[in-house]
Amino acid sequence: MTQLPDTHLAFLNKLRQLTARRCPDMPENARLFNYVQKVTIDASFCASLTVNGDSGIFFVLNGMVGTYHEFEGKERLSHVYDRRDIFYSNEVLPELNKQNTTWKALGGSEVLFFNLGDKNLQAAFPKWSREIQMFISLYSTYQYQGYINAMGLDRKAYSIQWLRNHPNALSVIPRSDLADMLGISKTSLKSFIKTVLYE
């Protein structure tokens, strides 16, 4: 019996947990792991993604992935995906990407990709591959609701908690990007970092 890589198992198990209610017929991990591959999410890889072709689910193995958009002529970091986070290709599809959204690998990140556009996958599991694609496209818009909700929280409490939850962020994200992402000044960020480091 082939031993499945732990990294792939962690990804597939997380996906199974996330989709349990709406896509309960997910095939066994052993039948899916061949469709999961390690990728480098650079500009040329993102340019290959399309709504109805190659598209799929990503999983952060190590490091972080920052999501940057253009707004009023500036590149802005809006959120990051940390270790074990799941995200979806809809964010950066070149054909729809009005905000010029890009992903940047931060801190030597490693990412797994599950290509839902793979014809072999669609032939082997036609019903499930349709269900999961629709589910994950809903989930990815829902993730944005979370970033929107975060804007409504008290900035100090939210920022301090975020820094606690993402201890590696300070070594991989420039301070100005981090302050921009949290919606605070660089002075406030400095003070919150002190709070977290010396508590």
Partner 1 sequence: MSSTGRHIIATRLMEMTGLDMIQFGFVDFSECFEGPICLDSGDRLWDFGDTAGYLWFIESGFGFDRMLLEDGKRMLNGMIEPGIFVCDEQQLIFGVPSVSQAIVNTPTIAYRISCDRWFEFLNENQGMAGVIHNINAHFIQMRKARLLKMKHMEKRAYWDYIKDRFPGVEQFCTQTEIAHYFGVSKSTMHRIMKEA
Q: Taking the chain, what is the end-to-end CA distance rounded to the nearest angstrom?
A: 49
Q: How far apart are CA 93 and CA 152, in angstroms?
A: 28
Q: Which residue has the tokens 């792939």?
A: 8
Q: Which is nearer to partner 1, 108 or 146 (CB)?
A: 146
Q: Which is nearer to partner 1, 2 or 21 (CB)?
A: 21
Q: How far apart are CA 69 and CA 62, in angstroms?
A: 23
Q: In this structure, what DSSP letter does residue 167 have?
A: T
Report the nearest approach of partner 1 to the CB of residue 127 (Å).
7
> Under the criterion CB under 8 A, does residue 45 sit at the interface with partner 1?
no
Span near partner 1 by CB under 8 A; candidates 7-15, 36-44, 91-99, 105-113: 91-99
> Under the criterion CB under 8 A, does residue 47 sit at the interface with partner 1?
no
**Under 8 Å between Cβ of 100 and 70:** yes
Q: How far apart are CA 88 and CA 176, in angstroms?
A: 26
Q: How far apart are CA 17 and CA 76, in angstroms?
A: 32
Q: Which of 2, 3, 44, 145 binds partner 1 (CB under 8 A)?
A: 145
**Under 8 Å between Cβ of 189 and 159:** yes
**Under 8 Å between Cβ of 112 and 58:** yes
**Under 8 Å between Cβ of 90 and 99:** no
> Under the criterion CB under 8 A, does residue 98 sit at the interface with partner 1?
yes
> Under the criterion CB under 8 A, does residue 149 sit at the interface with partner 1?
yes
> Under the criterion CB under 8 A, does residue 156 sit at the interface with partner 1?
no
Q: Which is nearer to partner 1, 5 or 183 (CB)?
A: 183
Q: Which is nearer to partner 1, 33 or 163 (CB)?
A: 163
Q: Which of 83, 155, 156, 166 binds partner 1 (CB under 8 A)?
A: 155
- Letters for 170-199 (x = contact with partner 1 by CB under 8 A, - = none) are ----------x--x----------------
Q: Please give the single-letter amino acid code of residue 33.
A: F
Give the footprint of partner 1 on this chain (CB under 8 A). 21-22, 51-52, 69, 71-72, 74, 76, 78, 90-91, 93, 96-99, 101, 127, 130-131, 133-135, 137-142, 144-145, 147-149, 151-155, 157, 180, 183
